[in-house]
Amino acid sequence: MKKVYGTASEALEGVLHDGMFIAAGGFGLCGIPELLIAAIRDAGTKDLTIASNNCGIDDFGLGILLQTRQIRKMISSYVGENAEFMRQYLSKELELEFNPQGTLAERMRAGGSGIAGFYTKTGVGTMIAEGKEVKTFDGQDYILERGIVADLSIVKAWKADDTGNLVFRKTARNFNPPAAMCGRICVAEVEEIVPRGSLDPDQIHLPGIYVHRIVQGTHEKRIEQRTTRKKEDA
């Protein structure tokens, strides 16, 4: 099976459709599939539901899909760095399903592992538990969370071989592996494609069985927040 494609647009050809459910990897601006996000914007695919820890910032990452009104619903843990995200949510232009970070990651992992649901204590007694089944184990309440299975996963990795084995770098190894697992189709953008057999099997973070298409590209790697201080006089 051919997995390597020339551009992000080519890697998404025949996959995108209006109203689809996408799982996106990354955290803030770290490890986000920026090339694939831009290709989705350019394709004009709309009415999207996206599961991702957050929604980038106003002019980068998933935030650019908010600017073009292509997202109908977000399943997220955090909205604080994106003013447009907050504006659309508060004005009821955007549907939002809040999930604790660990719950969201586990929902993705569960969906990719064939687990329909799981019980967790996180969120018991809060708005997170509203409308969800509650069960008592050993005298303590747990809520049922459903596994996520998305139409498409888009992720960013450091290295890949042509079979789709992926290596993530440092903090980028957060939501990317579980997001990749839960998509019926997974498209990964990478910084480098290396020869088959050159990756140490013990260093592979996600096996190629989960990855259907790969594209290599150049990434901007923005800094989300820069904090500096004045140089002290000698």
Structure confidence at residue 227 (pLDDT): 76
Structure confidence at residue 220 (pLDDT): 77
Task: Look at the block and give the residue holding tokens 């450091």.
Answer: 158
Quickly state the pLDDT bin for 86 (edges 50, 70, 90). confident
Q: For residues 190 and 215, is the Cβ–Cβ distance under 8 A?
A: yes
Whether 128 has a pLDDT exceeding 80, the answer reads yes
Gap between the Cα atoms of 211 and 156, Å rounded: 11
Gap between the Cα atoms of 130 and 133, Å rounded: 9
Whether 24 has a pLDDT exceeding 70, the answer reads yes
Structure confidence at residue 229 (pLDDT): 82
* 17-118+149-216 placed in CATH 3.40.800.20: no
Q: Which residues contact 112 (CB under 8 A, 6 or more apart)?
A: 147, 149, 178, 180, 181, 182, 183, 210
Structure confidence at residue 224 (pLDDT): 66
Q: What is the mean pLDDT of the chain?
A: 93
**pLDDT tens per residue across span 103-118:** 999 999 999 999 999 9
Structure confidence at residue 79 (pLDDT): 77
Q: For residues 120 and 99, is the Cβ–Cβ distance under 8 A?
A: no
Gap between the Cα atoms of 15 and 72, Å rounded: 18
The mean pLDDT of 143-148, rounded to a whole number, is 98
Structure confidence at residue 22 (pLDDT): 98
Question: What are the residue ranges spanned by the domains of the chain?
Answer: 17-118+149-216
Q: For residues 37 and 13, is the Cβ–Cβ distance under 8 A?
A: no
Structure confidence at residue 95 (pLDDT): 96
Structure confidence at residue 59 (pLDDT): 84
> What letters, b where the CB count within 10 A reaches 16 and e where it falls short, cover 10-47?
ebbeebbeeebbbbbbbbbbbbbbbbbbbbbeebebbe
The mean pLDDT of 112-127, rounded to a whole number, is 96
Whether 39 has a pLDDT exceeding 70, the answer reads yes
Whether 2 has a pLDDT exceeding 70, the answer reads yes
Whether 234 has a pLDDT exceeding 60, the answer reads no
Gap between the Cα atoms of 177 and 205, Å rounded: 7
Whether 221 has a pLDDT exceeding 90, the answer reads no
Gap between the Cα atoms of 139 and 119, Å rounded: 14
Structure confidence at residue 105 (pLDDT): 97
Residues in the chain: 234
Structure confidence at residue 207 (pLDDT): 97
